[in-house]
Amino acid sequence: MKRQTIVVPETAAGRVDRLVADVSGLSRSYVQKLISEGHVTAAGSAVKSSDTVIPGWVLELVVPDPIPLELEPEPIPLSVVYEDDDMLIVDKAAGLVVHPAAGHWSGTLVNALLARDTEYGGIAGVQRPGIVHRLDRDTSGLLMVAKNDKAQASLMAQLKARSIKKTYLGLALGAVAATTGRIEAPIGRDPNHRTRMAVVPDGRESVTGYRVRERLGAWTLLELDLVTGRTHQIRVHLAAIGHPLAGDPIYGNGTSRRGPEGNARLFLHSWRIELQSPTDGHVIRATAPLPPELESVLGALRAQHDGLPGLAPGLGSEPENPVQERDR
């Protein structure tokens, strides 16, 4: 159990739950839970989340010890590319489900993380890794994981502010005309297929930047900047402009679903990520090379189209910022 004394500054205003969340580094939803359970008091009396703070108030915050997560640890191999006391970045394999859910209570990334010799300080009162964003089951690559509430709150705030730079590599069908571009199209539930997403007029703002990395005949290797983070965003956007990803069984057409040389795996990889450390604010940069099965696809295409200009993934100069302009 941890106790924290919070003296409300003279300039403070607004709700109690917001002030406690800002000072403690806990998520606002968790603070609201603690308040509802009587763990935040002023002069010995419980406060309400909606109470207005009073300058000079002395608040006492009690954070109970985190309870164990009722989930079985499993020794699933993991590739960790970065780790410190507050977070880690893993290179997720394709086919690995990130979070337990109906039909997938075992064999997930969370099961694998629990099996590591890692100290999780508690996320919203539970001893568990904090999953702040997700990758589709068949997408490989970099994924951030928080070890405690403070780190989770920092990463979530950076995601909300769009200050985390996430770049993917994807193999798209066809010759993408513009060398660099920006896709701006709202995404929401497909009204005709509720299990799919689609570009729809009343969808949420969605922005994807791209750069052509390599032209390979009937296919184009792209660097893709995920400016927003909607479900299936890259897959939906590329399909919407007529260049679906190779191996995409949901948003592709017959040719793209089969992929080059009959490759059936979704060719989408979370390749590079840049963020500020939740601990001290220094810049963290991580990259994950394409897995062998995707490299072999490119190798076969290069052999067929020998002599075409282009850079192999992971080589050459890298642009400093995500694309900020429309197709040009």
What does the H/E/C string look like for the chain?
CEEEEEECCCCCCCEHHHHHHHHHCCCHHHHHHHHHCCCEEECCEECCCCCECCCCCEEEEEECCCEECCCCCCCCCCEEEEECCCEEEEEECCCCCCCCECCECCCCHHHHHHHCCCCCCEECCEECCEECCCCCCCCEEEEEEECEHHHHHHHHHHHHCCCCEEEEEEEEECCCCCCEEEEECCEEEECCEEEEEEECCCCECCEEEEEEEEEECCEEEEEEEECCCCCCHHHHHHHHCCCCECCCCCCCCHHHHHCHHHCCCCCEEEEEEEEECCCCCCEEEEECCCCHHHHHHHHHHHHHCCCCCECCCCCCCCCCCCCCCCCC
Please say whether the beta carbons of 59 and 12 come within 8 A: no
The active-site residue out of 17, 86, 136, 138 is 136
Give the model's confidence band at 122: pLDDT under 50 very low, under 70 low, under 90 confident, else very high.
confident
Query: Which architecture, in CATH terms, is 165-304?
Result: 2-Layer Sandwich (3.30)
Percent of the chain with pLDDT over 70: 92
Greater model confidence, 17 or 2: 17
Looking at 77-81, 102-106, 132-136, 183-187, which range is the least confident one? 102-106
pLDDT digits (tens, 9 = 90+) for 24-68: 888 888 899 999 999 999 989 999 999 999 999 999 999 888 777
Tell me the C-alpha distance between 150 and 163, whole Å.
17
Give the least confident one: 43-47, 79-83, 201-205, 238-242: 43-47
User: Is pLDDT at 161 greater than 50 in this prediction?
Assistant: yes
Per domain, the residue ranges of the chain are 2-64, 68-160, 165-304
For range 266-292, the mean pLDDT: 97
- For residue 170, pLDDT over 90 is answered with yes
Are 68-160 and 165-304 the same fold in CATH?
A: yes
Q: Residue 313 — pLDDT band, cuts 50, 70, 90?
A: very low
CATH homologous superfamily for the domain 68-160: Pseudouridine synthase (3.30.2350.10)
Q: Residue 175: which region, alpha, beta or left (left: phi > 0; alpha: psi -120 to 50)?
A: beta
Contact call for residues 263 and 246 (beta carbons, < 8 A): yes
Q: For residue 86, indicate whether it is catalytic.
A: no
Q: How confident is the model at residue 79 (pLDDT cuts 50, 70, 90)?
A: very high
CA separation for the pair 270, 297 (Å, rounded): 17
Task: Calculate mean pLDDT across residues 247-264.
Answer: 88
Tell me the average pLDDT of the chain: 89
2-64: in CATH 3.10.290.10: yes
